[in-house]
Structure 1
Amino acid sequence: MPPDERRNRRKGSERQRRLGVVRAPSPRRVTRPPPMHRLRTSLEDPVRQFQASLLLLLAVMVSGTLGYHWIERLGWLDSAYMTVITVATVGFGEVRPLTPAGRVFTMGLILVGVGTGAWAATRAVEVMLGQTLWLSVQRRRMRQSLAGLRDHYVICGHGRLGTRIERDLRARGEPFVVIDWEEAIEETFLAENIPHVIGDATQDEVLRTAGVERARGLVSALDSDASNVLAVLSARGLNPELLIVARANSESSEPKLRRAGADRVVTPDAIGGHRLALALLRPAVHDLFNEIFSFGVQIAIDVGQITIEPQSPFAGQTVAGCDLRRVRNVSILAVREPGGGFVLNPDAERVVAPGETLIVIGPAEAVYELEAMYSGD
């Protein structure tokens, strides 16, 4: 991570605490959800529901056996037999005539036992004959894979922008997780093997499930600016070091998102309008941008960045001495200085210093290899 970004994030966190916007916890502190919340979340799984119904049915059978043994003084086998025929409602006769207390107990056992048995049977049919078992197994595998993710990206929103972001990250081979509240899309996620969490991206628990505390970056591309502000606030509170990019549907929302903790704010309408004007006034420049920034199946040209760490082989070299154009067929477009300023088309004799960032352009594969080899975290 460049030193200027570290300073900006630290200043942003301190500014949010002074304004009372975010109460920043320890950077990697993990808060476990309440036990009742964990139980409720677990029981949303149909397989868990089936297991719970079997446990409840077993409890009913044990209670019925003990009841007949204590109330009617029956032997253990006869007590179990009476419990089974009562819960199953098969209509077999009693082992012996029941006392009034035994009849009252039997009526209660029928009401509880029949309901429990019907619930267990329904869950069993749903799990075994429908898509429930497959979905449950896939969800469990997904949760296990999410628990092992580190240094990934979190995408809040699977709309048009979110889908494009997913495609770009997949093309670059970057790990990511998608958060979306629409349950109907879950089967599509599972079929396409897209790491995901179904839930509200403004909620802390949903962000924790997506591993935001271990993530490298987050993009909030939700439909409303209010939701994006809440998502940014929640993510910044959970991970003060997180790189956050937010979508702004209107330019008036940009300062609010920055105050909430976003490092970068993008307004799609403004960018779209600029691209339309560029296509009208400078069509050749527009076509070049379209070639660079339009990801398809085959990516020909791309722009990348290489952060110069003290141990980097480029530190202390001149722009010409880096020799990227001859060795990698990659050209240096600009150098970003630690203070945030840019030096466009740098002179060949300019010395590259640690903490600076090289902005390069060239064949996509060559750019990705350079980023993987030399970019520091």
Structure 2
Amino acid sequence: MKLPGHDAIARQADEHLVTGRVKLPKRVVERPLWQVAKRLLMALLVLVGTAFIVYFDREGYGDNSDDSVDLLDAFYYATVTLSTTGYGDITPVSDGARLINILVVTPLRVVFLIILVGTTLEVLTERTREEWRLNRWRSNLRDHTVVVGFGTKGRSAIQTVCATGLKKDQVVIVDPSGKVIEAATAEGFVGVIGDATRSDVLLRAEVQKARQIIIATQRDDTAVLVALTARQLNRAAKIVAAVREEENAPLLRQSGADSVITSASAAGRLLGLSVLSPSAGMVMEDLIQQGTGLDIVERPVIKAEVGLGARETGDLVVSVVRGHRVLGYDDPAIGKLQSTDRLITIVRASPRSASAPDTRQLPRE
């Protein structure tokens, strides 16, 4: 199989944003322009308030130029006073004016400086704060899920996994498109912009500490390269990948994928089944749809089921997972259920079954 898409994807990543850049979910904050406008308005209100305080007590002030203080002089005095310039040409001369300067004008000067300096410090410290958030995220991230590709397949896969209780802060999306990562962070996921076939990009997603990796790229050749790179960085993670063509599935398994889903052939089989039996096709589609009708789940054997046969449980058991083997419900090797077995069952979808403890939703094809 040819691998022509590697360079093109790398160029695409560079066109959007810096490759490998990590983007944390955005906090709900005001727009920067509105923040600046609001602070300028606050500073202006403080200035106007100070000017009117001086003007109403103008008899207590002296002006070196004409011995009188009008409204313009009041604004001039408020400006040079709040900015701590203080030329000294207009000064409080009465005891009342000086007392007002001590109790009112000086606190207003402090407020004015806090507003201006606070705006400057916020701009200067924004990058530091973001770096601190990023470092804290890296130090706390363990056993997370990395999703390569946030298209239709990637979104559906992560929705299915998150429906079982996986938190969004335990999911990292990797995609070469900046717009896609913007959409992912808007939904609460952490995003990494870049080509996932490059090890430095996957390392920024902390793939070496991931528990599971979902590869849902648009091209089969890209999926193979991603699987090779991910397996090299993490020998223990479970890698599940999707391919379009069934002939590429063996190559993807050789590249390190534990499970390979052939999207084109799966859709074709569903189409054929719907033609032969519309009812059977409807049931299969119901199983594929998350959270509606019927769902297929994997759960542990409960204490009351130990020693029973697979058909003697209260649920509709389709397979038994014993060790690394998946046995059909009618396989004689099952015998009696053991406490270490896990059951793959079909259940009626409900909010309770989707979030129940010790229940894991199976990835959908």
**Shorter-chain TM-score tier:** 0.5 to 0.7
Query: In the alignment, residue 313 of structure 1 is paired with which amino acid?
Result: K
Query: In the alignment, residue 294 of structure 2 is paired with which amino acid?
Result: I
Please say if 1:372 is aligned against 2:351.
no
In percent, how many aligned pairs have the same letter? 26
Q: Which residue of 1 aligns with 2:161?
A: 169
In the TM superposition, what are the counterparts of 1:274-285 in structure 2 within 5 Å? Answer: 274-285=269-280
Please say if 1:258 is aligned against 2:253.
yes
- Residue 188 and residue 233 in structure 1: after superposition, are their counterparts in 2 closer, same or farther (change >3 A)? same
Gaps of 5+ in 2: 1-18, 24-118
Gaps of 5+ in 1: 1-39, 45-123
SS at match of 1:265: strand
CA distance in 2, matches of 1:360, 1:342: 13
SS at match of 1:208: helix
Please say if 1:199 is aligned against 2:194.
yes
- Over residues 324-366 of structure 1, what are the superposed CA-to-partner deviations in whole Å (9 max), with x where a residue is unaligned? x2xxxx432332344635232579x941125533111213345
Please say if 1:158 is aligned against 2:188.
no
Number of residue equivalences: 242
CA distance in 1, matches of 2:226, 2:341: 31
Please say if 1:302 is aligned against 2:288.
no
Q: Please identify the structure whose Cα radius of gyration is greater.
A: 2
**Higher alpha-carbon deviation: 312-321 or 286-295:** 312-321
Cα shift at 1:146:
4.8
- Residue 320 and residue 145 in structure 1: after superposition, are their counterparts in 2 closer, same or farther (change >3 A)? same
Q: Which residue of 1 aligns with 2:136?
A: 144
Query: In the alignment, residue 169 of structure 1 is paired with which amino acid?
Result: V
Question: Is residue 142–residue 195 contact of structure 1 (8 Å, CA) maintained in 2?
Answer: no
Instruction: Name which of 254, 259, 284 aligns with 1:289.
Output: 284
- Residue 302 and residue 230 in structure 1: after superposition, are their counterparts in 2 closer, same or farther (change >3 A)? same
TM-score by length of 1: 0.54
- Residue 139 and residue 252 in structure 1: after superposition, are their counterparts in 2 closer, same or farther (change >3 A)? farther
SS at match of 2:358: helix
CA distance in 2, matches of 1:371, 1:322: 22
Question: Is residue 223–residue 252 contact of structure 2 (8 Å, CA) maintained in 1?
Answer: yes
Question: Is residue 164–residue 360 contact of structure 2 (8 Å, CA) maintained in 1?
Answer: no
CA distance in 2, matches of 1:276, 1:140: 51
In the TM superposition, what are the counterparts of 1:52-131 in structure 2 within 5 Å? Answer: 128=123
Instruction: Name which of 158, 180, 183 aligns with 2:178.
Output: 183
SS at match of 1:372: coil
- Residue 238 and residue 345 in structure 1: after superposition, are their counterparts in 2 closer, same or farther (change >3 A)? same
CA RMSD of aligned residues (A): 3.8
TM-score by length of 2: 0.56
Cα shift at 1:156:
0.4
CA distance in 2, matches of 1:274, 1:137: 51
SS at match of 2:213: strand
